[in-house]
Structure 1
């Protein structure tokens, strides 16, 4: 503890020190971020605009897009500014704020994916009771609950991590204030904090995964019992896009946060984090727009209406 000092700012070492590599990364990150913002905002507007998409499934999907927009916007702007200007310094409070919103929105997404799986279970396995089970008020309460869980989890983690003392080194071996990277700088005994991180992350992930696995097990059993091939294909098509999003999200999360600190390689974590903070939020609207027939129909309606209005103006 005698080597501990008050840290007022951190230095994000980023992905590379080579200027030519940073220039290329800036262009790539900017393109990904623009696609991310346009894709998620477009999905939110589309669901709001088309009355056919005013169902619990698309209600949750609109919140998934909102959350993707939130936690992706907590990281890339600062990373892109650092690549462009070379300024890698981030204040103590800004680091805590970035980590807070990143953890909060990522946790909310975790629970939203579970809610979407439960919604598909109710639609496929209990179709006669679906309208009474998944009402607007129930859907809203479940969504609010996921936000409460996400932000409470973030408050807990931020309080735990930033109660630690930090040493003379303030060099964060990452391009943003991720939990393991900041925790590694502490000169306090962080064994308890590491255990708490793994336990809390495991609880959040496996609670959501349990709901998803039980829901899809029930769905597949129901699908296999369907006599109609058309009904089988329709039920399966409503689940494939969600399954793709679940696989991408949880595969990366488990790799990042459910391993002991001794197994962490900062370089590997950085590469995984690029995928996690930038690519996944961009992929979700792409996956749902390509794999979902109702979303495709809504997009076609928008384009037809835009094309018609353009012709009328001409």
Structure 2
């Protein structure tokens, strides 16, 4: 039985109450300039829609324990507008901190990286994230960065964001842009989820054929398929069938006034918090319209 209807009703009441308070305060304190601040009010409405969508998606994923496929594409309708949820397991991306060098090397090949060799790319990621100054073959440690005016790099610690990859010695901005959408720092296993990984991400797996990657991607939502199970078994050292616990949620809000707002969230389960989830990353990407 679906239980999200009651939750959405509750969320509607909470959000509407909050917005009513915000708007009332603005009217009382800024009546002469209300027209000039209307755009600001619209932005507040849109941001609240995004916040409501983020809360609803976390509720469905962790409290209701719904699969990403159930939440993906869902539209939450409130009195002030609507917000669309786009959800994917974060294990569809390779992890800069947890994925093995073989996968990093394979990804660089799959995206046709040009500024480094695949071996050098993987080695330099490993040298960045490890805790020592011992250079791996084709890697780069602090003495290599120092000559380029980058004292203190590599960090010899885990990547805190994918954006730090921009400072990897020898990696071009063009190659960074090719890699960015296939990488994360929030995939706990370091392996790929066959139900979430793109075809190109799957091609990072050593020995993965074009045909097998296409088939796995096509059967991503068919866990009972014998063909899918056989392929997952074939590449079991790099694919995981563990239930996802970290998700990337893209939110698109449409207010009734015509404003559009977008945001992206990475959210994970967390049994030690009252909410039952924790937000690892939140990016408000802007508003537009009208």
Query: TM-score normalized by structure 1?
Result: 0.23
> Which fold has the larger relative contact order, with Cα–Cα distance below 8 Å and residues 6 or more apart in sequence?
1
Report which of the two has the higher share of strand.
2
Query: TM-score normalized by structure 2?
Result: 0.25
